[in-house]
Amino acid sequence: MSTKRKVIITSAVTGAIHTPSMSRFLPVSAEEIAEAALGAAEAGAAIVHLHARDPKDGRPSQDPKHFEPILEKLKANTDAIINITTGGSPHMTVQERMRPVIAFKPELASLNMGSMNFGLYPMLDRFKEFEHEWERESLEKSRDLVFKNTFADIETILGIGNANRTRFEFECYDISHLNNLAHFRSRGLARGPLFVQSVFGLLGGIGAHPEDLMHMRRTADRLLGEDYLWSVLGAGRNQMPLAAIGAAMGSHVRVGLEDSLWIGPGELAKSNAEQVARARTILEALNFEIATPDEARQMLQLKGRENVGF
């Protein structure tokens, strides 16, 4: 029997950070998003993290009708764990953001663990041409934007998820978010094993230096003990270096076009599958095994794909 540690790879397929004009490889339509997720799963991702977009202009959407064809295709063609966002976009209300999770009752959903500044406007220095005006406006508005995730918001999302047996990927962008998570665990609203996604390198959150990663790990250990699984998300060019450092320290990893458009310096990734394959190469070189979807389900104590609402 193998004694190698098994590492869960999450692929974040598309999201609200990047816009269609930034990369021709970013999936936009339901068909493109579903195909990108299937490719990532085939490459080794046990979890696919999903946002949806309005196919008319690529704008982030939490309308269940934009998720439904994606979910139907994935349910029919892969046993990967489907993780639906409750983050949506920082420009949405919590009520808007919760619509797909309420409708589809997934095994897993994301949950941002605190309000924060969410500065995407530096991307305007890199990207100059946009097909849709909303893309430029969205980046510019992030100069004066608080991504709202109050204690009441988090309580609401936890209550809905707990009622549906949906577990959470707790997205922690800073040390305070770990303290918030410990608070909700102490009240019995966040239940172990906790799946903690540490997010590094987004303006407004913790940085992406290895010291930041080690500080996040030490704090999580102190606050949460052994009742959590740790995963690392490095934004932009930090994606692969922090995945490697985190894995060596005991983490699982998240990669994908939501978090980074790149596969190397100045080189756009052609697909989520390409990033998953690169992460898998790194992990296997470190002598880890890649967790299957069912192994990840067992580690995270999920309710099973037969118990979702799609």
Tens of pLDDT, residues 101-153: 999 999 999 999 999 999 999 999 999 999 999 999 999 999 999 999 999 99
β 9-12/252-255 pair status: parallel
Q: Is the pLDDT of residue 263 over 60?
A: yes
CA torsion 154-155-159-165 (nearest 10°) is 40
Q: Is the pLDDT of residue 222 over 60?
A: yes
213 token code pair: 């990663």
Tens of pLDDT, residues 14-31: 999 999 999 999 999 999
Tens of pLDDT, residues 163-189: 999 999 999 999 999 999 999 999 999
State the chain's mean pLDDT as an integer: 97
Please tell me what DSSP assigns to residue 203.
B
Give the pLDDT of residue 3: 79
Instruction: Say whether pTM exceeds 0.85.
Output: yes
Give the pLDDT of residue 133: 94
Fold of 6-307: TIM Barrel (3.20.20)
Give the pLDDT of residue 2: 62
CB-CB contact of 301 with 193 (8 Å): yes
Please tell me what DSSP assigns to residue 151.
H
Identify the CA nearest to 241 among candidates 267, 264, 270, 223. Answer: 264
Percent above pLDDT 70 for the chain: 99
In the chain, how long is the greatest CA-to-CA distance? 56
Confidence class for position 225, pLDDT limits 50, 70, 90: very high
What pairs with residue 50 in β-bridges? 84
Rounded distance between C-alpha atoms, residue 171 and residue 86, angstroms: 11
Identify the CA nearest to 51 among candidates 97, 10, 91. Answer: 97
Tell me the mean pLDDT in the region 73-93.
96
β 81-84/47-50 pair status: parallel
For the chain, domain boundaries: 6-307
CA torsion 66-69-75-78 (nearest 10°) is -100
Among all chains, which residue has been given the structure tokens 């966040």?
A: 190
CA torsion 174-179-182-183 (nearest 10°) is -130
Q: Is the pLDDT of residue 1 over 60?
A: no
